[in-house]
Amino acid sequence: MKRVAVIGGGHNALVAAALMAKAGLKPLVLERRDVVGGAAVTEEFHPGFKVSAVAHTAGPLRASLVEELGLEGHGLRMMEPEPRLFAPLPDGRSVRLWGSPERSAGDIHRLSPRDAERYPEFHRTLTGLAGLLGRALSLTPPDVDRPGGGDLLSFAGLGLALRRLPRRDAHGLLRWGPMAVADFAGEWFETDVLRAVVCARGIWGAFAGPWSAGTTANLLLQAAAYGGNGAGSAVMVRGGLGALTQALAEAARALGAEVRTGATVQRIAVRDGRAAGVVLEGGEEIPARAVVSGTDPQRTFLRLLDPALLDPDDLQRFRNYRQQGMASKVNLALSALPAFGAVKGEDPASLLGGRIHIGAGVDDLERAYDDAKYGGISRRPYLDVTIPSLSDPSLAPAGRHVMSIHVQYTPYRLRQGDWRTRRDEVADAALATLEEYAPGLRGLVLARQVLTPLDLEETYGLTGGHPFHGEHSLDQLFATRPLLGWARYRATIPGLYLCGAGTHPGGGVTGGPGANAAREVVKDLR
Amino acid sequence: MAARYDAIIIGGGHNGLVTAAYLARAGKKVLVLERRHVLGGAAVTEEVFPGFQFSVCSYVVSLLRPEIIRELDLPRHGLEILPLDGTFTPMPNGDHLWRMNDHARTRREIYRHSPVDAEAYDEYSKAMADMARFVKPILSMVPPDPFGYDVAGMGKLLGMARRFQALPRAAQHNLVQLMTMSAVDLLDQWFETDVLKATMSASGIIGTFQGVRSPGTAYVLLHHYMGEIDGAFRSWGFSRGGTGAISNAIAGAARQAGVEIRTEAKVARIVVKAGQAAGVALESGEEIPAAAVASSVDPHLTFLKLVEPGVLDGDFLTEVRRYKLRGSSGKVNLALDGLPDFTCLPGLGAHLRGAISVSPGVEYMERAYDDAKYGDFSRHPYLDVVIPSLTDPSVAPPGKHVLSCFVQYAPYKLREGTWDEKREAFGDTVVNTLAEYAPNLKGLIIDRQVLTPLDLEREFGLGEGNIFQGELSLEQLFFLRPVPGWARYRTPVKSLYMCGSATHPGGGIMGAPGRLSALEMLKDWKRRVLR
């Protein structure tokens, strides 16, 4: 029996387990909590109010997985809200981005005819690049030391595709990757809020501001996952993201995987230089042919593995791997739908169903980052807000709503005080900022939940509180994610694999790392 | 009509002069046109105040390519490099950090601050030397075109990939980090002493509109680390007679090879006939025909002003406009009646002969950048100060001194007010900052010259005051410099070439762009693209 122990029951681990089971292996998923899903879970945080506790939009899940694992048969319903994104301004103006670039352009026209003219071209360019980059997302990064024939073929294919792109786009791709997203946005648009909306994709989940070089790579990565639509994308899940991971768990079980909750892995057992299984807290030993870790690289290699088994240089590099969280979640139970000043004479439900971007200009985002750079909580944070109860009323009692707020920046390491005492400041800063856009919001709050980077670490197992298992910076992407020489999902210890967001293609609820890792494990074990 | 030249070089900066010298040595008839009354561009020595000679802009040298020194026989034309002894960083707490050119002494000094860092310094120095050795050949390489059908270029890329593969894992890892990380993130992995990290990270931001925490600055750190004099790594120096002496030495070599040089000859436009550069027109109205034109000025000036509208296609012009110049620094030159006395290390010791770096902490550096991000000069700027008259007494009257401060940040685009209004306030900020560490400074000042980014543009033709003719950020390096597809010194206009710091391998008194450009032009003559 080819049993594979899978550490962690997050979406990537579940994807890997389902695919390994499908290929005839016997995966056993070991989840520490009572519920699978990792950071993609739906939780009742106040009686009758449920919310996607951590991640609140799907990455989106790689389309082929939905089909391959029959997820719709297990209850998964993904929705793309219209408008995808609503970016209000305190003065009542707003940007709305829709599925259709023409419709978005039509709305942008009120702010800037020039930007309206540029928008469809922006959309087209990113969609073109996404086609190319999307192919790279499903590849195993090449072996730097011994590039094999298969690698060379797939990369030769990518190289050809790059050369087939319109010259302008190919040039763009090379230039944009290392650029600051503020420069990228500035190349396209003149309206500050539209620039900020574009920038938000680049700083999302990054300990970096819009003027930090390399943030455009983060935007391109997401554009690739979404198949284009670089700024205005949003995928929601009916029932919250927990419904997605429940469907994944169901699919995995149906394919023959076993899923155990309440099973905390204490260490990875290594015998004769090979990963031989795992040991649970309480002492239970689970032997396995291979161990696949869905947890982040630091937890896997610095905590679960005996450090003596790693090369001291590698150990040092994993210690230096940048995995410092920068975001918090604030979840609100609301007595009614908030009234945004920028919603005038329209049905609010028709505008607020997607992502609501709070960050009026590039400077606002940068200043929010400045605070965090020196170890403080952003006084006026960047917020990515959703009101999932609009598209899925089952999440809140009738007439009530839940609001899910991604708050950036809140550094894992505070210069003053600690997260146990400063938790409320996050919600206060988020609410004070939101009040400028939706006056009266505070009065609607029935209950609030704050998840700081420390909570993300302690409750959800994200070491350092980093939502993506490590920064999406140029030195930690593709063939260097998590480290150069470690990007092919295999550890230096035979039989030990990584399948989480700390591997290519990185964070976001895409299932990409899990799927790529499963392919490599199956290749080795079959 | 004047005689027809084989090539006209626009701009008499060090790169323009290098191009001219190499072309003339190959037998071409070359004319250099310089707008100012003096040669050198930003590598220029001027008597700003009677008796006081300043390296007005660029003030130290380390990157000048050894092959240029050799091939143009520059020492025979008067080039002499005097060593700059280390970097002295005064600290507000009364301590200091003094890194010398001698590894063992520097190590002892670092040990005083942190024994762990002293040990790390050994490894770090070795790692950086390895990196510099890996990257160095790239400085002498014409960038390949990944989009063209350039087989030789592809071979070069493949060769680089093989060399990378052959490196030990640790070196590969370091190289990836150097190419992508921020200077501070990189240094954080090696060191714990704040002032050491701050002063080292400073070389990662010189001439860029980036902070020490901005990704990509680690590369600029290496760019400066690669400095070499006579093949020795990591030694910076003064040129005797100021940096203008370097330009004069190159000009001497060029003249000897037959180059004609005209100063106070401002080019108004590049004459294009039938899609081909045919010469230049001066502001005086004079037209000078030539088979080829090489511009050593920045791409904005070359393509947006000197080439007439309608010649270049819109896509190319868009890329040119996107090329970031974005000056971020200024210069303050002081004529002094004596030497500054630092509270933390009193006396007139050897520490004054090196660079004096006002970079007391990482946060200090980052906050200096924050001010500039929002469109103002740093209230507490980073300063790199030298007193060349200590090493080369010829540049000041006996007993007097010249002191020059390189200042960062000073953004070209101010959000409020103009540089003409703020120039003196900027100068005061710089003097006050330095006087915090050397209180006697203010009483010594006989005269001062303040150069804002606007002045660097107006006086020296540096677009937006950028000392490197364009940011050394990853998206503007190698085959992307200055614009993708046009990194091989050629331009969309036939027989028009680029030969300045805006081309690979970039800024600093290096001469490499000028030399590589000349070699490419000569190839085109051989191929009969140029006649």
Render each residue's pLDDT in chain B as its tens digit; 531 residues. 456 899 999 999 999 999 999 999 999 999 999 999 999 999 999 999 999 999 999 998 888 888 999 999 999 999 999 888 889 999 999 999 999 988 899 999 999 999 999 999 999 988 988 888 888 888 889 998 877 777 787 788 888 888 988 999 999 999 999 989 999 999 999 999 999 999 999 999 998 999 999 998 998 888 777 765 445 434 678 899 999 999 999 999 999 999 999 999 999 999 999 999 999 999 999 999 999 999 999 999 999 999 999 999 999 999 999 999 999 999 999 999 999 999 999 999 999 999 999 999 999 999 999 999 999 999 999 999 999 999 999 999 999 999 999 999 999 999 999 999 999 999 999 999 999 999 999 999 999 999 999 999 999 999 999 999 999 888 999 999 999 989 999 999 999 999 999 999 999 899 999 999 999 999 999 999 998
Contact at CB, B215 and A183, closer than 8 angstroms: no
- For residue A147, give both structure tokens: 């590039």
**What's the CA gap between A315 and A455, in Å, rounded?**
26
Contact at CB, A474 and B169, closer than 8 angstroms: no
DSSP A61: P
Mean pLDDT value across chain A = 95
**What's the CA gap between A61 and A59, in Å, rounded?**
6
**What's the CA gap between B17 and A320, in Å, rounded?**
46
Q: Is B335 left (phi over 0), alpha (psi -120 to 50) or beta?
A: beta
**B227 contacts: CB under 8 Å, gap ≥ 6:** B61, B62, B63, B233, B234, B235, B236
Burial of B245 (0-12, 13-18, 19+ CB in 10 A): buried
Of A25-29, A397-401, A466-470, B217-221, the one with minimum mean pLDDT is B217-221
B287-295 and B5-10 as β-strands: parallel, antiparallel, unpaired?
parallel
Q: Quick count: other Cβ atoms within 10 Å of Cβ A229?
A: 25
Residue A229's pLDDT band, with cuts at 50, 70 and 90, is confident
How many angstroms away from the CA of B166 is the closest CA of chain A? 8
- For residue A18, give both structure tokens: 């389902």
User: Would you call the peptide bond into B409 cis, given omega within 30 degrees of 0 as the criterion?
Assistant: yes
Residues of B in contact with A213 (CB under 8 A): 210, 214-216, 473-474
**What's the CA gap between B86 and B338, in Å, rounded?**
21
Q: Which pLDDT belongs to residue A151? A: 72
| H/E segment holding residue B52 | strand B52-55
Q: Would you say B505 and B205 are in contact if contact means Cβ atoms under 8 Å apart? A: no
A180: pLDDT strictly greater than 80: yes
Residues of B in contact with A171 (CB under 8 A): 147, 319, 483-485
Q: What is the DSSP string of A462-499?
A: -GGG-TTSS---GGGSGGGSSSTT-TTSB-SSTTEEE-
Sign, Cα dihedral of A288, A294, A298, A303? negative
**What's the CA gap between A64 and B449, in Å, rounded?**
66
Q: Does A160 touch chain B (CB under 8 A)?
A: no
**Short-list B495, B498, B500, CA closest to B511:** B500
- For residue A391, give both structure tokens: 């598209």
Percent of chain A with pLDDT over 90: 89
How many angstroms away from the CA of A27 is the closest CA of chain B? 33
Residue A149's pLDDT band, with cuts at 50, 70 and 90, is low
Q: Which residue has the tokens 């070069």?
A: B156
Q: Which pLDDT belongs to residue A161? A: 82
Q: Would you say A7 and A500 are in contact if contact means Cβ atoms under 8 Å apart? A: no
Closest residue on chain B to A163 (Cα)? B147
Q: Which residues pair with B333 in a beta bridge?
A: B404, B449
Give the CA count within 13 Å in the CB-facing half-sphere of A503.
33
How many angstroms away from the CA of B18 is the closest CA of chain A? 29
Range A328-347 average pLDDT: 96
3-state secondary structure of A38: coil
**What's the CA gap between B401 and B393, in Å, rounded?**
8
Please name the residues between 304 and 333 in chain A that touch chain B, using a CB distance below 8 Å: 313, 317, 320, 322
Contact at CB, A178 and B484, closer than 8 angstroms: no
Contact at CB, B215 and A373, closer than 8 angstroms: no
**Short-list A249, A389, A381, CA closest to A333:** A389
- Which of A144, A171, A473 lies at the smallest CB-CB distance from B180? A473
A155: pLDDT strictly greater than 80: no
User: Would you call the peptide bond into B66 cis, given omega within 30 degrees of 0 as the criterion?
Assistant: no
DSSP A390: G
**What's the CA gap between A312 and B425, in Å, rounded?**
52
A101 φ/ψ angles, rounded to the nearest 5 degrees: -65, -30
Residues in chain B: 531
- For residue A276, give both structure tokens: 């031989």
Q: Does A366 touch chain B (CB under 8 A)?
A: yes
**Short-list B147, B142, B28, B17, CA closest to B495:** B28
- Which of B176, B214, B485 lies at the smallest CB-CB distance from A171? B485
**Short-list B415, B211, B327, B476, CA closest to A363:** B415
Residues of A in contact with B361 (CB under 8 A): none
Q: Write the CA distances from B247 to B255, B299, B462, B488, B509, integer angstroms.
A: 12, 22, 16, 24, 9
Closest residue on chain A to B477 (Cα)? A175
How many angstroms away from the CA of A175 is the closest CA of chain B? 5
Q: Quick count: other Cβ atoms within 10 Å of Cβ A319?
A: 12
Q: Which pLDDT belongs to residue B1? A: 44
Contact at CB, A317 and B169, closer than 8 angstroms: no
Residues of B in contact with A202 (CB under 8 A): none
Cα B2 to its chain centre, rounded Å, is 35
Percent of chain A with pLDDT over 70: 99
Q: Which pLDDT belongs to residue B338? A: 97
Complex confidence, ipTM: 0.93
| H/E segment holding residue A59 | none
Contact at CB, B485 and A167, closer than 8 angstroms: yes
Closest residue on chain A to B212 (Cα)? A212
- For residue A433, give both structure tokens: 């900022």
Burial of B372 (0-12, 13-18, 19+ CB in 10 A): buried
Q: What is the DSSP string of B306-374?
A: IBPTTSS-HHHHHHHHHS-----EEEEEEEESS---BTTB-SS-GGGGSEEEE---HHHHHHHHHHHHT
A382: pLDDT strictly greater than 50: yes
Closest residue on chain B to A214 (Cα)? B215
Range A496-522 average pLDDT: 97
A254: pLDDT strictly greater than 80: yes
A163: pLDDT strictly greater than 60: yes
A350: pLDDT strictly greater than 70: yes
Range A57-81 average pLDDT: 94
Range A22-29 average pLDDT: 98
- Which of B164, B214, B373 lies at the smallest CB-CB distance from A213? B214
Please state the three-class secondary structure of A184-245 as a single string. HHHHHCCCHHHHHHHHHHHHCCCCCCCCCCCHHHHHHHHHHHCCCCCCCCCCEECCCHHHHH
A352 φ/ψ angles, rounded to the nearest 5 degrees: -100, 10
How many angstroms away from the CA of A159 is the closest CA of chain B? 10
- Which of B147, B176, B373 lies at the smallest CB-CB distance from A484? B176
pLDDT digits (tens, 9 = 90+) for A357-380: 999 999 999 999 999 999 999 999
A50 or B84: which carries more pLDDT confidence? A50
